[in-house]
Amino acid sequence: MVDNSLITAHMLARELNLSVETIWRYTREQRIPFIELSGRQYRYRLSEVVNALSSEVHERATEYAGDLPKKLTYADYCSLPEEPGVRFEVLDGFLVKEPSATVLHQRVSRRLQRMLEDYFLATDPAGEVFNAPLDLTLGNYTVVQPDIFYVSSRQREQVLHARVDGAPTLVVEILSPSSGRKDRLQKMRIYQSAGVVHYWIVDPEEKTMECFSLTDGVYALVVGGMDDEELVHPSLPKLKLALAALWRRPPD
């Protein structure tokens, strides 16, 4: 089970796709919150560190933007020429360009979507589960394509002809080698600010799932699982996810 309290610097580095040396430097410079134990040992809470780093990620947003002359809007995004094998998103006005998903990514996404569709069909028949590529707009300067997201029956007016406009109830991002830092920091901050109640991060390589929920406007890790565990979400009654089914390879 993913630790919901204190983690080591090595664990934190892995979660954020940073080097351990960077975590130590941030600790020395007091740029992230930490707890000092006896013998100069340090422990961290992931959600607190993510929030502390969010402003820094915003400052580094030009890393994704290149030399764009202005912040992009949804209209600007719609005018971008298509590029085979590439997915575009706009995060706080800055363009993000990433390669298409891998086979492993799509395999896990498809299986998780099927599980969620079965669950919400039983609990909220008028709600809908969507998957990428479908545009989700969160304000005038953010256009994302979450791997999976759920719009409840109470949010049906947000489902437009070509996009969904406004924060859904649940967003799931499935990590790939190129997206880990963005999904854990910049996108987490955006979803939190937009009021997405549930944000899940799935790592197919590490075989882990982390479920965050808004608590007083801030994401807190409420449950996690790994390998062949069964994940039971505390806020979604009777939702049980057999994680082994997500990672299994098709038979030869």
202-232 pLDDT tens trace: 999 999 999 999 999 999 999 999 999 999 9
Q: Is the pLDDT of residue 114 over 50?
A: yes
- In this structure, the strands spanning 41-43 and 135-137 are unpaired
What pLDDT sits at residue 64? 44
Is residue 194 within 8 A of residue 214, CB to CB? The reply is: no
Separation CA 91–CA 71 (nearest Å): 9
Separation CA 205–CA 105 (nearest Å): 9
Is residue 188 within 8 A of residue 210, CB to CB? The reply is: no
Q: Is the pLDDT of residue 115 over 50?
A: yes
Residue 231: Cβ within 10 Å count: 20
Residue type, 144: V
Domain residue ranges of the chain, discontinuous segments joined by +? 9-59, 101-247
Ramachandran quadrant class, 172 (left: phi over 0; alpha: psi -120 to 50; beta: rest) = beta
Residue 67: Cβ within 10 Å count: 5
Separation CA 221–CA 2 (nearest Å): 9
Separation CA 156–CA 160 (nearest Å): 9
Q: Which of 30-44, 97-111, 181-195 has the lowest mean pLDDT?
A: 30-44
What pLDDT sits at residue 38? 66
What pLDDT sits at residue 213? 95
Q: Which of 11-25, 116-130, 145-159 has the lowest mean pLDDT?
A: 11-25
Q: Where are the beta strands (DSSP E) in 3-145?
A: 35-37, 41-43, 86-91, 94-99, 128-131, 135-137, 143-144
What pLDDT sits at residue 245? 95
Structure confidence at residue 20 as a pLDDT band (50, 70, 90) = confident
Structure confidence at residue 34 as a pLDDT band (50, 70, 90) = confident
Q: Is the pLDDT of residue 201 over 90?
A: yes
Taking only the tens place, the pLDDT of each residue in 36-92 is 876 678 888 888 888 777 655 444 444 444 444 578 999 999 998 888 888 899 999
Task: Quote the mean pLDDT of the chain.
Answer: 86
Residue 245: its H or E element: helix 244-247
Three-class DSSP category at 34: coil
Taking only the tens place, the pLDDT of each residue in 169-191 is 999 999 987 777 788 888 999 99
CA proximity to 195, closest of 235, 170, 167: 167
What pLDDT sits at residue 22? 79
What pLDDT sits at residue 60? 46
For residue 236, how many C-alpha atoms fall within 13 Å in the half-sphere facing its CB?
Answer: 24
Separation CA 171–CA 148 (nearest Å): 6
- CATH homologous superfamily of 101-247: tt1808, chain A (3.90.1570.10)
- In this structure, the strands spanning 240-242 and 230-232 are antiparallel
| Phi, psi torsion values for 166, nearest 5 degrees | 115, 160
